[in-house]
Amino acid sequence: MAKVGFVGLGVMGGPMAGHLAEAGHDLTVWNRTPEKAEPLKAAGVRVASSMEALGQACDLVFTCLSRSEDVKECLAALTKNANPNTLFVDHSTILPKAAKEIHEDLKTKGFRFVDAPITGGSMGAQKGQLTIFCGGEAAAIDEAKPYMLAYAKRAERVGGPGAGQLTKAANQIAVAGSVLALCESLSFAEKAGLDLALTRELLAGGAAGSWSMDNYGPKLLARDWSPGFKVKDQLKDFKYCIETAHELGAAIPGTVLVDGLLEVTKSHGHAEHTTAVLFETLMAMGFED
């Protein structure tokens, strides 16, 4: 049995590591904020004293962080004392070009790397029902896949280095339209005086149905803006999408529009709230805005 490490125990990483532990894997974890490791520690999971110690002790290391810079910084520490051929699998959403750079850097140092961003939201992480886009060598992905299936319903190779992040960018571009459609539709219904709960139910059962309508719709009805996926994190992902689209010469006008609307939403004090809080911004706007 491989010795498995997991770094990054936030809204997504915490439940993912929990599923690995429940599946009986030999697991060691580390988190910048030690308190987030306490539930796993209480369940008998080892907590490393440092990232360097975790990297040295494990054969397979998963990371679930935030920005490209964070991933590079953590991997620098994790690989400091790691054994040759250690496999690192990153579940963060980062720039595709950064993922390619990491692949090349770790390869020259004798390590292996898979960029494996996730989708499915915090609910998917809690239920072990995530989808994972894997970029890298087929053999490395095949080695990591049985472990990933502890917290994912599907994990697929989508191409070589960086392809996982390119697929995640395509996913986030689709998410932009989905969240806007939900919030725009229901803010219109609210201003029209319609029964909002009934409207959402009916729309969700027809051609307007979507993951956002099913999962964010009830939160919107309750005006429950707890994350979920935070506005500030969605903005980070959109910046990566827009930068990559610019490099590719790809038109993503809808994403640019939603990015601007979420910047307004953030300026109204909603950076830490779920992206469905865009509803509030649209409710405050008039037709000509």
pLDDT at 163: 98
Residue 67 CA from chain centroid, whole number: 11
Angle among Cα 112, 147, 58 to the nearest 5 degrees reads 50
φ/ψ of 45, rounded to 5, equals -80, 140
The span from the CA of 101 to the CA of 76, in Å, is 13
pLDDT at 99: 98
The span from the CA of 148 to the CA of 239, in Å, is 27
Provide Rg for the chain, Cα atoms. Answer: 20
Distances (CA, A) of 243 to 98, 125, 240, 260: 12, 27, 5, 15
pLDDT tens digits, one per residue of 140-156: 999 999 999 999 999 99
The span from the CA of 33 to the CA of 146, in Å, is 28
Catalogue the active-site residues: 168
Contact 173, 255 (CB under 8 A): yes
Distances (CA, A) of 68 to 9, 98, 118, 276: 17, 6, 15, 25
pLDDT at 204: 97
Chain-wide mean pLDDT for the chain?
Answer: 97
The span from the CA of 31 to the CA of 216, in Å, is 28
Contact 51, 79 (CB under 8 A): no
φ/ψ of 87, rounded to 5, equals -100, 125
This prediction has a pTM of: 0.94
Query: Is the model's pLDDT at 289 over the cut of 90?
Result: no
Query: Is the model's pLDDT at 288 over the cut of 90?
Result: no
pLDDT at 137: 98
The span from the CA of 9 to the CA of 14, in Å, is 4
Portions of the chain given CATH number 3.40.50.720: 3-160
Query: Is the model's pLDDT at 217 over the cut of 90?
Result: yes
pLDDT at 50: 97
Contact 89, 136 (CB under 8 A): no
Which class for 44: exposed (0-12), middle (13-18), buried (19 or more C-beta within 10 A)?
exposed
Give the list of residues 6+ apart from residue 69 with CB closer than 8 angstroms, or none: none
CATH of domain 3-160: 3.40.50.720
How sure is the predictor about 213, in pLDDT bands with cuts at 50, 70 and 90? very high
Domain at 166-283, CATH from 1.10.287.130, 1.10.1040.10, 3.30.420.40, 3.40.50.300: 1.10.1040.10
pLDDT tens digits, one per residue of 161-210: 999 999 999 999 999 999 999 999 999 999 999 999 999 999 999 999 99
Span 154-159, mean pLDDT? Answer: 98
pLDDT at 228: 80
The span from the CA of 12 to the CA of 124, in Å, is 9
Portions of the chain given CATH number 1.10.1040.10: 166-283
